[in-house]
Structure 1
C-alpha cells in the first residue's frame, strides 16, 4: 500500500511540471480514455458467523488496474475498472479462537457514472455512483485443521466515488480515484456446516495514467 501512495504522488509531481506549458484541452463529448495503473483494496470488515460466532475478516491487497472511460457529454462519463486481488480470509474471535479460511481471489468489475463540474479545467474533480459485481475464485491457501471447504458467493452492490483527472497534455491524463464498494457475500464453510455473511465493504484507491483517443 505504501507503493501505491508513492506511485500516485510521484505521478502527480511529474505531471505538474509537464503540464505547465501545455494549453488546456478540457473534457469533451466523445472522449475515450484507457488507463493503466495500480489499485489498493482496504476492507472495512464486519459481518456475522453462525454456530461458532466471531467476525469474518479479509486482508488488504493491491494489484495492477486497467480502466476505461467514455464521455457522453463534457460533464458526464461512464467508467469501468478491471482488476483482481488476492485476500487472506479468517474468522476473528470465534468460540474456536481465530480460524484461518485460507485465501480467495476477488474479481470486482465496477461500472460508474461520473459527474464532472469543471470540464474545461486542467484539474477536473468529479463525483460518481456505480454498480459493482464481485466474483470470488481460486480458493486455497493454509486453513485451520477443521476447515476442508470454503466457498464465497458472488455479491452485487453500489459504489459511490470521488476523484479527479489532471490533464498533462491533450492525449495524456493522470487520474486518482477513491471508491467505497458495498461487497457483502455469503460464505459457507465445510459444505454449509458453518455459514457467515462477510461485510467486506472496502475502500478502493486507484491511480492511473490515461491515454485519450
Structure 2
C-alpha cells in the first residue's frame, strides 16, 4: 500500500493533465538552479542515541508543463545530495547520498503578471545510496531505506522577458527511512527536509 498510493497519485495527475493540454505555444518551462536541503533538527533516535543529519546544496533542474495558464505539472531532478549522519556523543557515524525526484502539480495565481506566486503539492521518491560507515561505526554495514512521501511547495516566478524568468521556491518533503546496521534495524530517520531553491527558467 505504501508504494501503490504514490503510484496512484502520479497516475491521477497524468490523467488530469492529458485531456487539459492545449495547443498554445510556450507551454513548457525548463529551470536550472540550486537547492539547499536542510533536514529537520530532530530526525529521531538511532540505537538509542539522538541523531542529526547535515544539510547539502546541489545543482537542480526541473521541467514544468503548463496544461492551462494556471495549472502546471512539474518534475524536479537534482545532482545527488550528500549528508553526514551524526549521533550524540559519537559524532559522525555515516555518510550517504540521496536523489529525491519529485513530481507535483502547481497552481500559479497570476500567470500573466511580472510577479506570479504559486503553490504546489506532489509525491517524492528518495533513493539513498553509497552509504558508508564512519567513526564509531567504521567497518560496519549501514543502510538507509528508500522512501515515498508527499511534498509541498510554495514560491514565485519573476518574469525577466517573455521567455526568461527567475524562480524562488521552498519545498517541504516527507522522508521517513528505516536505518540498519549490519542488517539490524536501529531506528527510523524522519528526515523531512526543507529545500530552498533559486533557479533561472526558459519558457518554450
Using structure 2 for the length normalisation, give the TM-score. 0.82
1:2-17 alignment, distance < 5 Å: none
Residue pair 1:108, 1:135 contacting (<8 A) in 2 also:
yes
Whole-Å separation in 1 of the counterparts to 2:44 and 2:35: 24
Whole-Å separation in 1 of the counterparts to 2:127 and 2:160: 35
Gaps of 5+ in 1: 1-27
> Which structure would you say has the larger Rg?
1
CA-CA distance at 1:38 after TM superposition: 0.7
Paired residue for 2:43, among 28, 46, 66?
Answer: 46
CA-CA distance at 1:100 after TM superposition: 2.8
Paired residue for 1:175, among 167, 178, 181?
Answer: 167
Whole-Å separation in 2 of the counterparts to 1:106 and 1:113: 23
In the alignment, which residue of structure 1 is the partner of 2:192?
A: 201
In the alignment, which residue of structure 2 is the partner of 1:69?
A: 64
Residue pair 1:56, 1:196 contacting (<8 A) in 2 also:
no
Matched, 1:158 2:150: yes
Gaps of 5+ in 2: 1-23
Whole-Å separation in 1 of the counterparts to 2:189 and 2:55: 15
Residue pair 1:150, 1:187 contacting (<8 A) in 2 also:
yes
User: Which has the higher relative contact order, 1 or 2, with Cα contacts under 8 A spaced 6 or more apart?
Assistant: 1
In the alignment, which residue of structure 2 is the partner of 1:5?
A: none
For the residue of structure 2 that corresponds to 1:173, the secondary structure is strand
**CA-atom RMSD, angstroms?**
1.7
Decide whether aligned partners of structure 1 residues 29 and 132 sit closer, same or farther in structure 2, where only a CA change above 3 A counts.
Answer: farther
Q: Deviations over 1:107-156 (max 9, x none)?
A: 00011111111111110000111110000011126331565110000011
Whole-Å separation in 2 of the counterparts to 1:115 and 1:181: 18
Using structure 1 for the length normalisation, give the TM-score. 0.79
Whole-Å separation in 1 of the counterparts to 2:195 and 2:186: 26
Whole-Å separation in 2 of the counterparts to 1:31 and 1:160: 22
CA-CA distance at 1:40 after TM superposition: 0.2
In the alignment, which residue of structure 1 is the partner of 2:50?
A: 55
